[in-house]
């Protein structure tokens, strides 16, 4: 009898242990943990589901390929449409049938086959010197960056950084390869220095008088304003949402996808649905200074103070499809050299 009871207790313990182990979800992320942990902690608080994060600066697609069907990954969080498309093209993700997500994420910002979904929007803006330039005209667009009046006055990070490649891809979609190549040649001729550093580094260069304009994602302004060492850089510039009289301001995204072999599929979907909810979208807006993808969630007070803008409504898939052409053009004009 004791042996029987012991066996039953052992079996119950095993079942209990299995249930506990199942209440988790594994996230592979290109986004730094401190940027997303507030949302993930709130998810755990609401659901009791533990979130395990594996962070990497690069190589997540390769890691998923190597792990194959034995991968522990459930959800992939990343930035840039190119990385989301890479996951789809390499057959590393699966579609998610969720009325919740579809209701929260506009069609423009999700995959046609529901294999990836945007979480936030990131506007590719132009920073201008407060003292030497002021705010740019309402009809200023990306094409104006090639105007000879800006010769020796523009700073940017590498043309081959994903943020810039996506912008060039959008330019190809709107203007064709020939006109985009001519535009790139003009922008290169206007550079104050060889492309280098990151977006914040370009604003620093403006504050130091090295250039008057720079390309940069809008959320970096929030990061600089709230960094004592960088606030002076932020105070030296205006943020301009350009292209308002043309096709709109170019936007890229941060996004998510469910891994092809997700071992905790139900929990993965719960997390993905939560990340598109009002709670998480409001936290994204406050913590990261990005624009919520959910249309009825307002930007943070700081972000809203930068003004409203009309985003380019081109399909993100169309942008991703032009990436190889964009890199080719950047090579042809030797943009980074």
Q: What pTM does this model have?
A: 0.87
CATH number, position 233: 3.40.190.10
| In a domain? residue 20 | no
Q: pLDDT category, 205, cuts 50, 70, 90?
A: very high
Q: What is the mean pLDDT of residues 151-173?
A: 96
Same domain, 43 and 187: no
Q: What is the mean pLDDT of residues 198-207?
A: 98
Same domain, 137 and 47: no
Q: Supply the angle between the helices 265-275 and 33-47 in degrees, to the nearest 10.
A: 110
Instruction: Provide, rounded to the nearest whole percent, the portion of the chain with pLDDT above 70.
Output: 93
Spell out a b/e string for 86-120, using b for 16 or more CB atoms within 10 Å of the CB, else e. bbbeeebbbebebeebeebbeeebbbeebbbbbbb
Strand-pairing partners, residue 154, are 191, 213
pLDDT: which is higher, 288 or 185: 185
| In a domain? residue 19 | no
Among 11-25, 46-60, 81-95, 142-156, name the most confident range.
142-156
| In a domain? residue 13 | no
- The sign one gets for the Cα dihedral 131, 135, 139, 140 is positive
For the chain, the domain total comes to 2
Whether pLDDT at 4 is above 50: no
Same domain, 231 and 259: no
**Alpha-carbon gap, residue 95 to 97, rounded angstroms:** 6
Same domain, 318 and 181: yes
pLDDT at position 22 is 54
pLDDT at position 1 is 46
**Alpha-carbon gap, residue 256 to 79, rounded angstroms:** 9
pLDDT at position 258 is 98
**For residue range 207-249, what is the model confidence (pLDDT) as tens digits?**
999 999 999 999 999 999 999 999 999 999 999 999 999 999 9
Q: What is the mean pLDDT of residues 253-264?
A: 96
Q: pLDDT category, 256, cuts 50, 70, 90?
A: very high
Q: pLDDT category, 128, cuts 50, 70, 90?
A: very high
Domain around 241: 124-250+310-332
| In a domain? residue 17 | no
Same domain, 84 and 225: no
| In a domain? residue 191 | yes
Query: Do the beta carbons of residue 212 and residue 195 sit within 8 Å?
Result: no
pLDDT at position 103 is 96
Whether pLDDT at 19 is above 50: no
Side-chain half-sphere CA neighbours of 224 within 13 A: 25
In DSSP notation, 57-88 reads SS-HHHHHHHHGGG----EEEEESHHHHHHHH
Strand-pairing partners, residue 55, are 29
Which among 219, 251, 233 is positioned nearest to 35, based on CA atoms? 219
Q: pLDDT category, 35, cuts 50, 70, 90?
A: confident
Same domain, 73 and 52: yes
């Amino acid at each position: 009898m004791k042996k029987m009871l012991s066996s039953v207790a052992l079996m119950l313990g095993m079942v209990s242990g299995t249930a506990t182990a199942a209440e988790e979800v594994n996230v592979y992320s290109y986004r730094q943990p401190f940027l997303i942990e507030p949302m993930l902690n709130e998810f755990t608080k609401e659901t009791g589901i533990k979130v395990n994060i594996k962070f990497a600066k690069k190589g997540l697609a390769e890691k998923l390929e190597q792990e194959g069907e034995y991968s522990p990954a459930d959800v992939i969080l990343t930035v840039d449409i190119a990385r989301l498309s890479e996951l789809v093209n390499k057959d590393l993700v699966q579609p998610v049938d969720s009325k919740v997500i579809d209701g929260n994420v506009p069609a423009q910002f999700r995959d046609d086959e529901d294999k990836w979904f945007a979480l936030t929007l990131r506007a590719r803006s132009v920073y201008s010197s407060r003292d030497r330039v002021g705010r740019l005209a309402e009809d200023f667009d990306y094409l104006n960056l090639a105007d000879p009046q800006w010769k020796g006055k523009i700073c940017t990070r590498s043309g081959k950084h994903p943020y810039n490649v996506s912008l060039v891809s959008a330019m190809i979609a709107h203007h064709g390869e020939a006109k985009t190549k001519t535009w790139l040649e003009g922008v290169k001729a206007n550079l104050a220095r060889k492309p280098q550093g990151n977006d914040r580094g370009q604003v620093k260069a403006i504050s130091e008088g090295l250039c008057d304009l720079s390309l940069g994602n809008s959320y970096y302004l929030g990061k600089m304003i709230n960094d004592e060492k960088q606030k002076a850089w932020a105070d030296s510039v205006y943020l301009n949402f350009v292209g308002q009289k043309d096709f709109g301001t170019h936007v890229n995204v941060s996004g998510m996808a469910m891994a092809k072999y997700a071992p905790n599929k139900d929990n993965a979907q719960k997390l993905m649905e939560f990340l598109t909810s009002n709670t998480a979208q409001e936290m994204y807006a406050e913590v990261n200074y990005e624009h919520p993808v959910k249309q009825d969630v307002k930007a943070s007070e700081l972000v809203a103070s930068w003004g409203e803008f009309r985003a380019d409504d081109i399909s993100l898939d169309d942008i991703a499809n032009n990436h190889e052409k964009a890199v080719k053009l950047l090579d042809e004009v030797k943009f980074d050299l």
